[in-house]
């Protein structure tokens, strides 16, 4: 389902588009201008909500960084949100090793190894380089032996929707429909100026989210509790 299709479904659920009224073909439609803008925000906000809960398998992908002699810091992919998994790492396929995060980060590293920013050799750890963009750094700083070597990493990408033709990050229509049901309830709160914090107490919203989460599960949840005795 694309972004404009999801807006159309949301507006029908809330009665903004009725009966045989034509669906939107562009976000510049003047008849429902205000509702269209709020619907877009509701969908984007709801998407941010479930991404923050790490439930969308659609967002996992991978990329690489290419090491350069005496270069300490490297930019991550432009659509990087966060690393995938509980132990973020970079994989060096040449040496068949993984490079894990330095616990304590740069703040601890600079107190433990005063020359961390200039020591060269085999990259053994990575840490965050706190700048205005998503960048990491390696210790040791790569020596000439590692120049051009490619390190791969898994991450969760930005699945935001902006343009009318952008695709919602779901594997099938049934998942997208459940998502729009929740976003439609958020839209209803927004146009009636109700605090969105109250969505957590709204039965319709919670039912829609529960339905979506069950659909997103890769396996069937257990329907039994406690021990089973033969």
For the cut 70, the answer to whether the pLDDT of residue 229 exceeds it is no
> Does the pLDDT of residue 44 top 70, yes or no?
yes
Residue 44, class by beta-carbon neighbours within 10 Å (0-12 exposed, 13-18 middle, 19+ buried)?
middle
| Residues in CB range of 34: below 8 A, 6 or more apart | none
Q: Is pLDDT of 221 > 60?
A: no
Per-residue pLDDT at 220 = 62
| Confidence band, pLDDT 50/70/90 cuts, at residue 23 | confident
Measured in degrees and rounded to the nearest 5, phi and psi for residue 8 equal -60, -45
Q: With beta carbons less than 8 A apart as the criterion, state whether 8 and 23 touch.
A: yes
Q: Is the pTM of this model over 0.85?
A: no
pLDDT tens-digit profile of 88-108?
999 999 999 999 999 999 999
d(CA 74, CA 172) in angstroms, rounded, equals 36
């Amino acid at each position: 389902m694309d972004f404009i299709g999801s807006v159309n479904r949301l507006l029908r659920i809330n009665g903004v588009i009725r009966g045989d009224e034509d669906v939107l073909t562009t976000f510049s439609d003047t008849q429902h201008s205000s509702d269209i803008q709020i619907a877009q925000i509701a969908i984007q906000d709801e998407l941010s909500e479930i991404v923050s809960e790490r439930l969308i398998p659609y967002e996992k992908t991978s990329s690489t960084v290419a090491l350069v002699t005496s270069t300490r810091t490297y930019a991550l992919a432009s659509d990087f949100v966060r690393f995938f998994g509980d132990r973020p790492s970079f994989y060096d396929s040449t040496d068949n090793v993984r490079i894990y995060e330095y616990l304590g980060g740069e703040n601890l590293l600079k107190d433990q190894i005063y020359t961390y920013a200039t020591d060269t050799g085999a990259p053994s750890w990575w840490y965050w380089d706190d700048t205005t963009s998503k960048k990491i750094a390696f210790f040791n700083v790569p020596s000439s032996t590692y120049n051009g070597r490619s390190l791969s990493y898994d991450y969760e990408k930005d699945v935001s929707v902006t343009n009318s033709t952008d695709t919602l990050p779901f594997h099938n229509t049934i998942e997208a429909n459940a998502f729009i049901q929740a976003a439609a309830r958020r839209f209803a709160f927004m146009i009636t100026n109700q605090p969105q914090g109250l969505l957590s107490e709204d039965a319709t919203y919670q039912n829609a989210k529960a339905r979506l989460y069950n659909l997103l599960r890769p396996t069937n949840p257990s329907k039994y509790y406690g021990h089973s005795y033969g």
